[in-house]
A = this chain, B = another copy of it.
Amino acid sequence: MATFMDVHHGMNGITQDQLAQAHQADLAIEKDEHVHFMQAWADPESGTVYCLSEAPDAEAVQRVHERAGHRADEIHAVPFKV
């Protein structure tokens, strides 16, 4: 398992409820791909959402996000953290 930060652009105006619903949609199916979405943060002004996950690989992260209806624009493995 590795840690990933993925980024969604164009989410301008996203609300706390929409962020929570999108996160719930990921959580509902993540086990199929052995992914766990841990945290997410949204900036409604620039339309940016960051998701932190543990997953076997970036493709598994994307498969969950795609099935949940919100494809990520970038997915970065983040092997280092403090």
Contacts and interface: CB of A to CB of B under 8 A. Distances in A.
Contact of A16 (B3, B14, B80): B80
Stoichiometry, copies per complex: 2
Interface of A: 3, 5, 14-16, 19-20, 23, 39-46, 48, 50, 52, 76-82
A39 B3 CA distance: 13
B82 A19 contact: yes
Contacts of A39: 81-82
Contacts of A23: 82
A79 to B, nearest CB: 7
Contacts of A3: 41
B42 A80 contact: yes
